[in-house]
Structure 1
């Protein structure tokens, strides 16, 4: 049994309690199939992408559920967050997320950014404001700024935008599966139900 087959079996077992009715998920209704397959980091593993934006209230509400869900994904399934910029002003949040990723601070700070934006109503749309906020979280401000302004983070932001374009993402949160399919709350019926569609697509990917 290779890693993809193992992942298929594990996802099936993990999803068993919620699997009723998943055979009713239909292409074009609950998910779309991409006309051109998108690259994944490792073809030997199944990949799930969460397309999100810090400014999106639905992403904020969905974060606890998708974070708990991704923590239970089996070996052989890779979960990645992809920040989306539908306009130039949102690029700053792409760079914010990837700076956290480079510094190994996603687990510690990522949910706090959502809280700051949507609960505390902090304006984190300018680099100096973001740096000041990071300092309140115990992050070295100079190190954060150097990373935030780095070529590597700028490249990651451009790659994220290319991936979102390739997946035809037109709203957040959306979930991409294995470079082949996209689902979302609007397609699935709710953001929580989109996780069931993602589980269905993971099993489908493992069979192919």
Structure 2
């Protein structure tokens, strides 16, 4: 028994560290009178034509003015249209400590999940006491998240018996019981101390005690689909440089950790500040 308890203690500690007109013809000298009478009549006839046609000009002018008036109104309306306000940058006075509370990843990485908004991914382990202590703060914080933020859990897969808990997480997710079992698994490990070896069978027994069908759960834990998810979680942690739990990756760019002086509340404040920074910078790109 002492050997088993020592094994679980080592397991818990390991989990927490890890874009142009022609000119007029000249008058004829032999006939001076003829040009006097006929030219007078010609202008009169010519003058009549413009008089008859004159009423049509204003109508044509009115039709031409209508589109111009419409264009002017449209331009005026466009000038008065409200301009969308950009999200505010976070308060520098409340900035977390770069290098202590968070680090900027050397290269932005693909997020764990795909979709709109800003991803906040917690890499955690059921065998990590700091993750267990953080969970109540996360439970109080998550319901108030903005609609453009998506929070996801990423179980740590650092190898060894701890991977069986990660498989248990994915099996519970696949079977639709994760909401019921997540906090209960922290409790089973640290409070009830139900696990001796953390074998797949022992993990399945735990979930069966929470209402899952044991055989179905064990089979799901060992399925190809769960193994694929386990490998994806492992690759995400490796790409983002996760070395310990809990570690929170924001937008694939920032890695935030819980510190001894600020605790769970400080970590959540760091996450909020980085989310606001990412939102404001994205709107300005």
Query: Residues 37-186 of structure 1: matches in 2 within 5 Å?
Result: 37-40=108-111, 41-42=113-114, 44-123=116-195, 125-186=198-259
* Counterpart selection for 1:29 from 100, 111, 122: 100
**Superposed CA RMSD:** 2.3
Query: Residues 190-205 of structure 1: matches in 2 within 5 Å?
Result: 190-205=263-278
Mean Cα displacement is larger for which, 63-72 or 51-60?
63-72
Query: What is the rounded CA distance, in whole Å, between the counterparts of 1:89 and 1:159 in structure 2?
Result: 18
Secondary structure at the aligned position of 1:104 is classed as: coil
- Alpha carbons 1:31, 1:188 under 8 Å: kept: no
Shift of 1:27: 2.4
Query: What is the rounded CA distance, in whole Å, between the counterparts of 2:107 and 2:134 in structure 1?
Result: 28
TM-score, normalised to structure 2, is: 0.63
- Alpha carbons 2:126, 2:189 under 8 Å: kept: yes
TM-score, normalised to structure 1, is: 0.85
Query: What is the rounded CA distance, in whole Å, between the counterparts of 1:136 and 1:43 in structure 2?
Result: 35
Shift of 1:42: 2.9
Gaps of 5+ in 2: 1-83
What does the per-residue CA deviation read over 1:37-77, in whole Å, with 9 as the maximum and x for residues that have no partner? Answer: 12122353100011111111111111111122122212121
Query: What is the rounded CA distance, in whole Å, between the counterparts of 2:103 and 2:180 in structure 1?
Result: 33
Shift of 1:87: 3.1
Query: Bigger relative contact order, structure 1 or 2, given CA contacts below 8 A and separation 6+?
Result: 1
Secondary structure at the aligned position of 1:182 is classed as: strand
Gaps of 5+ in 1: 13-18
Query: What is the rounded CA distance, in whole Å, between the counterparts of 1:110 and 1:56 in structure 2?
Result: 13
Query: Cα gap change, 1:44/1:181 in structure 2, threshold over 3 Å: closer, same or farther?
Result: same
Query: What is the rounded CA distance, in whole Å, between the counterparts of 2:214 and 2:115 in structure 1?
Result: 37
Query: What is the rounded CA distance, in whole Å, between the counterparts of 1:21 and 1:89 in structure 2?
Result: 44
Mean Cα displacement is larger for which, 88-97 or 46-55?
88-97
Query: Cα gap change, 1:180/1:155 in structure 2, threshold over 3 Å: closer, same or farther?
Result: same
Query: What is the rounded CA distance, in whole Å, between the counterparts of 1:22 and 1:102 in structure 2?
Result: 40
Query: What is the rounded CA distance, in whole Å, between the counterparts of 1:43 and 1:156 in structure 2?
Result: 18
Query: Cα gap change, 1:153/1:188 in structure 2, threshold over 3 Å: closer, same or farther?
Result: farther
In our comparison, the structure showing a higher alpha carbon Rg is 2
Secondary structure at the aligned position of 1:186 is classed as: coil
